[in-house]
Structure 1
Amino acid sequence: MSLYHHVPNKDAIRARASSARAVLAQHTWALGLIDSRRNPGPATLRHHDAILGVLREAGFTLPMAAHAVSLIDSYIAGFVLQEANLPMTTADDVEEVAGGILEHLPADELPYLTEMIVDHVLRPGYDHTSEFSYGLDLILDALEARRR
């Protein structure tokens, strides 16, 4: 059985990760505090306990659960920091920034980056924020493979 069939809600880990991302995106200043405290607050402790519980009940060994929590937390924090520092937040911003890069991009020297911008980023419906879910799915799939 996959990890998803063991959790109380099919998307329990995904929901917790997305929730953590949403909260941290609103309070990016908190990222530095969360892991630097010697005495974490009760909300942080409950969050870690809930994630560990889902993983342990899904059959992860204690060391694998520890690796998983570290990986998931690092991914969330890294994504939040990257998003906070991107010079774009809306589709119009993405188009403006990508278009500006494309104007000065030597396509013959950087063909793959040109292709990425033209054939992916500037396509209708592109949403850079959806990359979070895709990456989280990859992490969860890899963890599931290691759990077996």
Structure 2
Amino acid sequence: MAHQTGTPRRAPLSRARVLSAAVALADDAGIDSLSMRKLSQDLGVVPMALYKHVANKEELLDGMVDVIVGEIGPPDPGVDWKAAVRQRILSARRALLRHPWASRVLETRTTPTPAVLDYQDSMIGMFRDGGFSVDLTHHVMHALGSRMFGFTQELFEAPSMEPHVQAAALRQMSARYPHIVAIALRTDHDEGSVVGLGCDDQFEFEFALDLLLDGFDRLRLRGWSSTADLSDA
């Protein structure tokens, strides 16, 4: 019997396939390269075909965030709250390492997606299961901020300039801002940040995370409350 030959059939377009292709495009060319037209070209469809699955680019970005959050793994069962929280946050960080553009997109979302809400709810649940009051957990979540998703905003952004120009600028600044320059000239950071630009490397991230978790634990053990009189603490 003769076998038919020809072009393999393309998988039917679906929301999952659209989001997967969008993530791959952002990974390969950067988030600024992402457009509905470019995405449709990569998928081999007309741009209007995308709108059956995502209403607009904002909904596309929301869906891409959900894909990344879906890559965050659960903590090992049976570990205490501190290890569980630490594992979950570092898993989130690894997801952002795979998709360096994702932190920028997360920061632009004005309404959390269901996947983000699920993740936040599970994080809150780990603290509550660890014996944290609702009051303390509320303040803990504020203190964690974006660190819950595995990234932080850099305090000292690296200026975008040629090395010799940057060196001259730092020398000029050193007379007026000696302490800032001394910190900026530290050389024990990675050449490139693991998430975005700046010196937000793995050591710095874990250092701050462990300080926070230890501090949260001390407050938990003290039975801390935001309404209590702490003047004698």
TM category (shorter chain) comes to: 0.5 to 0.7
TM-score (norm 2): 0.43
Pairing 1:145–2:196 present: no
What is the CA distance between 1:147 and its match in structure 2? 0.8
Pairing 1:69–2:141 present: yes
5+ residue gaps, structure 1: none
Q: In the TM superposition, what are the counterparts of 1:23-102 in structure 2 within 5 Å?
A: 23=96, 25-27=100-102, 28-33=104-109, 36-37=110-111, 40-76=112-148, 79-82=151-154, 86-87=158-159, 100-102=165-167
Q: 2:168 aligns with which of 103, 112, 115?
A: 103
Distance across 1 between alignment mates of 2:122 and 2:149? 18
Identity in percent:
26
Residue-by-residue CA offset, 1:95-144 (whole Å, 9 max, x unaligned) = x75x75443324444332343344xx22xx42321322211122112211
RMSD of equivalent CA atoms: 3.4
Distance across 2 between alignment mates of 1:86 and 1:17? 25
Distance across 2 between alignment mates of 1:76 and 1:82? 15
The verdict on how the C-alpha distance between 1:115 and 1:70 changes in structure 2, with shifts beyond 3 A counting, is closer
Q: 1:6 aligns with which of 59, 67, 80?
A: 80
The verdict on how the C-alpha distance between 1:139 and 1:25 changes in structure 2, with shifts beyond 3 A counting, is farther
The verdict on how the C-alpha distance between 1:75 and 1:102 changes in structure 2, with shifts beyond 3 A counting, is same
5+ residue gaps, structure 2: 1-78, 191-198, 222-233
Bigger Rg, structure 1 or 2: 2
**Paired letter, 1:6:** D
Contact 1:25 1:80 in 2 (8 A): no
Q: 1:131 aligns with which of 190, 204, 207?
A: 204
Which has the bigger relative contact order, CA under 8 A and spacing at least 6? 1
What is the CA distance between 1:56 and its match in structure 2? 0.9
Paired positions, count: 126
The verdict on how the C-alpha distance between 1:141 and 1:25 changes in structure 2, with shifts beyond 3 A counting, is farther
**Paired letter, 1:115:** A
Contact 2:128 2:134 in 1 (8 A): yes
TM-score (norm 1): 0.63
